[in-house]
Amino acid sequence: MGPTPPRQRAGPRVAAVTRRSADFVDYGKQPLPRSVVEDVAWELGVSRATLYRLIELYKTFGTVDVLQPSATGRRSGTWVLPKATEQIIEETIHNVYLKPTRPTLTHLVDCVHARCTEEGVAPPHRRTVRARVKAIDIRVRGQRRGERDIVKATTAVPGEYAVSRPLEVVQIDHTEIDIIVVDELARPALADPRHRRLLARGDGA
């Protein structure tokens, strides 16, 4: 198992330019000229030492992911309430909210607060209760509450999607990706990727 990538604070542009610099080191078989380092560091607004460190990270792990920004704070979906409070919310949602009578969120929150008061624990905020409700699979929630529109919208429709010849259907995605097409030997960029389109075939070719 290789080393664990550290958490970085560099932006996407840092990742792109650093990778090009690392490629120059790999394929040029020579040290990166100081003038190049200074130019790139100036463009990115970082010191030479920081740029050298980013290049070494890329060369070590072989991916720009280690150069991307890392999220701060708690991870999405992390729950920090006491276990007793979480249990009250879960049981109340199951026994009160997920019923064909379709009680409102306000009624659910009132029931949770009443139960917390009975058991001597701090009541959660309304937003917390709502977040726990939203965490339930929407189809399960619709089935338990008798919400036919939700059940219908989340039910798979029988059928198939087929084509009879290559490129009969072409779908376009505007997602930006960091790809530069270069010459196999000399490594110069063959085209400006901003003015090109990639056509991906769906038949595995």
Instruction: Give, in degrees to the nearest 5, the angle at Cα 128 between 133 and 94.
Output: 35
- Residue 30, pLDDT > 70, answer no
DSSP letter for each residue of 98-129: SSTT---HHHHHHHHHHHHHHHT-PPPPHHHH
Of the CATH numbers 1.10.10, 2.60.120, 3.30.70, 1.10.3470, which one belongs to the domain with range 83-153?
1.10.10
C-alpha distances in Å from residue 12, one per residue of 9, 20, 47, 77, 173: 10, 13, 17, 25, 20
pTM here? 0.45
- Domain ranges across the chain: 12-67, 83-153
- Residue 73, pLDDT > 80, answer no
The string of pLDDT tens digits covering residues 102-127 is 999 999 999 999 999 999 999 999 99
Mean pLDDT calculated for residue range 28-54: 74
Cβ atoms of residues 200 and 179 within 8 Å: no
**The pair of three-digit structure tokens given for residue 46, joined into one six-digit string:** 């970082």
- Residue 187, pLDDT > 60, answer yes
Q: What confidence score (pLDDT) does residue 35 get?
A: 78
- Nearest to 145, CA basis, from 102, 91, 93: 102
